[in-house]
Structure 1
Amino acid sequence: MSKPEDSGLERDYCAGLLSNRKLAEKYGISEGAIRKRAIKNNWVRAEKSGTQKSTQVRKTGTQKKAVRTTEEKAPRVKKNPPVAVEEIPEKSEEKNSLPPELSGLSQQQLIFAEHAGTGKTRVEAYRLAGYICTGNTAYAAASQLYRNIKVAKAVRYFRDKHQQRYSAEIDEVIHQLVSITRADPNDLSQHRRVNCRYCWGEHHLFQWRDIAEFDKASAAAAKDGKKEPEYGGLGFLDTTDPNPDCPKCSGEGSGHVFIPDTRDLDGDARWLYGGVKQTKFGIEVQSLSQEAARRDLIRLLEIRASRKNGDPVVGDEPHEDADLTDEQLHEALEELGYGRRKNQLEEKLDDS
């Protein structure tokens, strides 16, 4: 096979009009030979308008790597940059300030009032405010500061503000306790006296639910060689009241336990319900203690009343243990089992 002219092959290759396969057929040479010759002589194939290809040859030692062709797209027309919009600074929220009637207090007095209003003792609030008296002197000075008219108003202000997050909890617990105390246990489970099989049967004979039940009993009796069971009619229902003239049960009927669908409990029964327990004797319906709820309700109302009467009175001799702090109230709720961190009531309150 004659060796193709390098000039003609180079011209057609660089023109890019024919593929390597067409060039191989035209010049009688393999495609691999054409690629090797293009690499050796650095031939560059022309591309269509709009794109431009460049071939790069990389060699490491004596090993030749394949030609990597990178396609460069035509440069895009740059758009005008967006006009910068001047951002309008947001208005800073005004800081909460004390009401006008509480103005005139020093920084230390405000710090003392804030700590005293959030549950700290007078001595603790006095020390946190930066005062230097210690021992009995600190208590006397803190009590004197606590009796100041403006300071007492500031303490009440901070106390009311701090108690807002506890008021909802107290109201919810009181509502729940009241619901438990007045709930009817019959809404959770009932023991009913219902009619026996003979109460409403014809001539007070055994009454069947339907013909299928009677046929099944008749077939069993025939198989055992017994006589056919007595027939007192059809239509027996479990929930019918006893017949006072029934000669079999003397109007007493028979005992029947009924448990409603607990998913449908509503009103006070929803708070009294404590869950169900599967035992070897059957299902046991659990309920919260109404007696304990009454005790807790009385105690909680006493705590709430003591808080209302716990504001500082100007001119009276203060007692360190006379006030019930928010922390003490929260601890009292937890001792009663009705704190926010108690999962049982928390789940019930969330479901409501």
Structure 2
Amino acid sequence: MSIRDSAPDKDDSSGQGGGKGTRYSPELWETIRKEWAVNPSMSYAAAVKTIGARLGVPVPSKGACATYADRNNWRKDGAESDQAIVAPREPVVPAPSEDPAPRRPRSRSVSKPAVPAADASEVVDDETHGLNPKQRRFADFYLISLNATEAYKKAGYTAEGNSAEVNASRLLRHDQVAAYIAERQAQLQSKLEITQEMVLQRWWDIASADPNELVEYRRDNCRFCWGNAHAYQWIDNDEYMREVVRHMRDEEKATEAGKKFHREPPDGAGGFGFVKNHAPDPCCPKCDGDGVGYVHIHDTRRASGAARLLYAGMKEGKEGIELKTHDQMRALDSVARHIGMFKERVEVDMTVASTNDLDEIYKTKMAEVRRRAQQFIGRGERLRSLTNGESNGDLQDHEHADR
């Protein structure tokens, strides 16, 4: 049977060029594939249009062709795809003189991404799940990144943009793919010995950790709290002498520049021995016992187990050091959802009725609808009668009659 003799079958939905639901013969698909494969710059649309003009037969749309090519793993290098359809080539008629101008070719990647290596004990038989090589690669990459769109592209599929997201989501819901992913996750969980109790305990440790073990706001003594007669207190003599030398240099520079120097020299009357983290003196005339406030970051190496889990790193910038922590409210919400505190109870009646029961229910409901419609019609007529002069007593009689 030649390609011209093979009329499209209306029982399938493999293409759209011959109408919705049209099925095209394997010989026509093979002819389109070879026409597309031998020309590196030819797109699916150009190949379909060329074959349609050459043979004078209904051809699929470019979208149907792209879907069929992706499903059968067409390649530009001329190699047979993983699921190539083998069919004898029919003699073709020379192409007409006016060939359609080829459109801009879509970027295609010939090289296949490397498949993640798997332990021999973790390999799942593809024949059991019915996965082809692309689906297997998609599942393996998804288990690494948990990003369906990224895994879809790395597996070798050619769709881009929103189409890639939609196709990746559809592939993730595929029964065989979902079963394979679930089995691999179960194997990983068994190998790492991770249980739900362990994950729940980790969330609870983060939610209940005390942030003050990592960072806290302190108010400690000022320089005048414990100095002699509440004078400025120095840490030691070295600090005092450095300030004296700096004062002398500043005074010399001001004198050389012909400027007046008004700053008082350092006074050591307050004595030495200032300790930053001492408590404030309630009788201090400078701070009134409030001390000096500042932010203190603890040594994270000495943090407890829960505080260590809460800690998420440091960021040092021009404004200082920023300590990062995990979201405790999110951790608490995860714990609450895990134990079912926010679970909404929805009761669904799953009673299965026969066709006869459904017919009876339908008839009963329709009779109720007709009865209510008649009531509304009767009320409308009585209202019109009332506006035309009918007494209120007559209206009440009508209502009693309806009841």
**Quick check: TM above 0.5?**
no
Rg larger in structure: 1
Higher RCO (Cα < 8 Å, 6 or more apart): 1
The interval holding the TM-score normalised by the smaller chain is 0.3 to 0.5
Please report the TM-score for the alignment, with normalisation by the length of structure 2.
0.34
